[in-house]
Amino acid sequence: MRAIEITGEWSPREGSRLSKDEQAGHWARNAADAWRNPRWTVVDRPAPDLIRPDDVLIRSRAVGICGSDVHLYETDASGYVLLPYRVRLPLVPGHEIAGEVVEVGPAVHNVRPGDPVAVQTLQYCGRCDACRAGLAGHCGEAEDRGFNLDGGMAELMISRESNVRSLAAVRERHSERDTFEIGALCEPASVAYVGMFLRAGGILPGAAVAVHGCGPIGLAAVALARAAGAATVLAFDTSSSRCKLAEELGADAAYDVVALRAQGVQAADVILENTHGEGADMSVEAAGAAGAILPQIEGSLAVGGKVVFLGSEAGAVPMQTMAYMLRGATVHGSIGNIGGLDPVIALQASGRIDLRPMVTARYDLEHAVEAVERASQRQDAKILILPNG
């Protein structure tokens, strides 16, 4: 089968603190500490076989390119990837996956060949302290498709049944092509859902929400905030085209921060002006640029405000703790989408949210590397790879 494969050089940075397990297995919890000079190529690989009785063989139909994929493509001045997340190479990338069931193992009961499905990419252990505490998204023993387990940018892939979610309800409302594309969009949307509603506890109807970063996760945050009853939804990005999409998906107004700066205006000023000086009840950092965005969040916190970190940034950033103390604000870190995929599928199937406008380009598998290069320009919202046309 045809697949995208990422290879790279294992070269731990001087002073990096890798465990013996990481060093022996050539994998890193923080890829930016160990992997250099990544190479993305289209290759032939053996087709996967069903091994476990609960395995599901899936024909990939739509796979989204995420900002984390781009961070595995881009490098710093020393050639190290920018992604501060667990990675093992070589690897088939792709964790925003929808496809069609081809074959199932004897212990599979909930899906059958021909069914449209989305794939929950994190395979958690169920045994560690995090899993037992109900925080499986933070499992220390997890295998994660597209990061340390082969993902969906291939013609075929294997998933356990427990990680497969039916898209039958979506198919009742949409065409086949739209069903698979919506399925792929459910992954970034569920990342936003988990951070905003499961980790941070959500918002009350009538709240003011500010979303910083209008990539797919940020755009999904805009749509979810509107669906949850926010009275004011403001969005900020460096791309005017992404700002237009944010307004299409539910933002009352979206601002190009580059244009704001040229006028001597800061995002915090805009938020305060649009909330009668009260500030944002929830601020979502979805750009992976906390160093630049935190001062704007800290300058526009509502009393009791919530800050949700969904973007990934490898370096440390300063935080003005007194701003949070004075406003009684809380900070919520979140990663992954455990617990969010089913409600997001339901929201899309019901029509309460419709994320299809965020798809701005589609590529076949043979041109997937070009697609990732395009994604690195950060002008598109969501680029999809269609591995089987």
Q: How far apart are CA 35 and CA 316, in angstroms?
A: 19
Question: Which pLDDT band, with edges at 50, 70 and 90, does 312 fall under?
Answer: confident
The verdict on pTM exceeding 0.85 is yes
Residue 307 domain flag: yes
Last residue of some domain: 310, 333, 356?
333
Residue 119 shares a structural domain with residue 241:
no
Res 314 pLDDT > 70: no
Using CA atoms, how far apart are residues 268 and 47, in angstroms rounded to an integer? 51
> Is there a single domain that holds both residue 165 and residue 276?
no
pLDDT band at 138 (very low <50, low <70, confident <90, very high): confident
pLDDT in tens, 255-280: 999 999 999 999 999 999 999 999 99
Instruction: Show Cβ contacts of residue 368 under 8 Å, excluding neighbours closer than 6 positions.
Output: 4, 40, 42, 153, 385
246 and 370 assigned to the same domain: no
Other beta carbons less than 10 A from residue 41's beta carbon: 12
Residues 326, 341 within the same domain: no
**What is the three-class DSSP state of 15?**
coil
Task: Write down which residue in 313, 333, 353 finishes a domain.
Answer: 333
Examine the domain organization and report whether 328 and 341 are in the same domain: no
Kindly state the average pLDDT of the residues 116-141: 90
Query: Final residue of a domain: which of 317, 333, 349?
Result: 333
Q: What are phi and psi of 353, to 5 degrees?
A: -130, 150
Residues of the chain above pLDDT 90, percent: 86
Rounded Cα distance, 58 and 349, in Å: 21
Cα 289 to Cα 37: distance, rounded to the nearest angstrom: 23
The full DSSP string for 117-181 is EEE--EE--S-SHHHHTT-GGG-TT-EEBTTTB--SSBSEEEEEGGGEEE-HHHHTTS-HHHHHH
289 and 360: one domain? no
- Is 22 part of any domain? yes
Q: Which residues have CB under 8 Å from 17's CB, separation 6+? A: none
pLDDT tens-place string over residues 348-359? 999 999 999 999
**pLDDT class of 313 with cuts at 50, 70, 90:** confident
Q: Are residues 10 and 141 in the same domain?
A: yes
Whether 44 is covered by a domain: the verdict is yes
Instruction: Indicate whether 81 belongs to any domain.
Output: yes
Question: Which of the residues are catalytic?
Answer: 68, 71
In a domain, 166, yes or no: yes
In a domain, 276, yes or no: yes
Measuring CA to CA, which residue among 303, 307, 306, 309 is closest to residue 326? 303
In a shared domain, residues 311 and 252: yes
Residues 180 and 314 in one domain: no
Residue 315 pLDDT greater than 80, yes or no:
no
160 and 306 belong to one structural domain? no
CB atoms inside a 10 Å sphere around CB 231: 16
pLDDT value of residue 378: 87
Residue labelled with tokens 């598109």:
380
Mean local confidence (pLDDT), 317-335: 95
% of residues, the chain, pLDDT over 70: 100
Q: How far apart are CA 385 and CA 195, in angstroms?
A: 26
CA 8 to chain centre: 23
Q: What is the mean pLDDT of residues 15-33?
A: 89
Number of domains within the chain: 2
Quote the CA–CA distance of 72 and 201 in Å, as a whole number: 31
String of DSSP letters for 279-305? -EEEEEE-SS-HHHHHHHHHTTEEEEE
Q: How far apart are CA 5 and CA 2, in angstroms?
A: 10
Question: What CATH number is associated with residue 239?
Answer: 3.40.50.720
Q: Are 172 and 245 within one domain?
A: no
Q: Calculate mean pLDDT across residues 289-305.
A: 96
* C-beta atoms surrounding 196 within 10 Å: 27
Q: Is residue 193 part of a domain?
A: no
Q: Average model confidence (pLDDT) for the chain?
A: 95
What pLDDT, on the 0 to 100 scale, is given for residue 323? 96
Q: Looking at the structure, do residues 272 and 143 belong to the same domain, yes or no? A: no
Nearest to 223 by CA among 260, 186, 170, 266: 186
Would you say residue 365 lies in a domain? yes
Domain that holds residue 168: 2-188+337-386
Mean pLDDT of 333-344: 94
- Rounded mean pLDDT, 85-106: 96
Supply the pLDDT for residue 213.
Answer: 96
Q: What is the CATH number of the domain that holds 17?
A: 3.90.180.10
Region 150-176: mean pLDDT is 97
Strands 382-386 and 359-364: parallel
Which residue is listed with tokens 């109807």?
Answer: 205
Residue range 315-340: mean pLDDT, rounded: 93
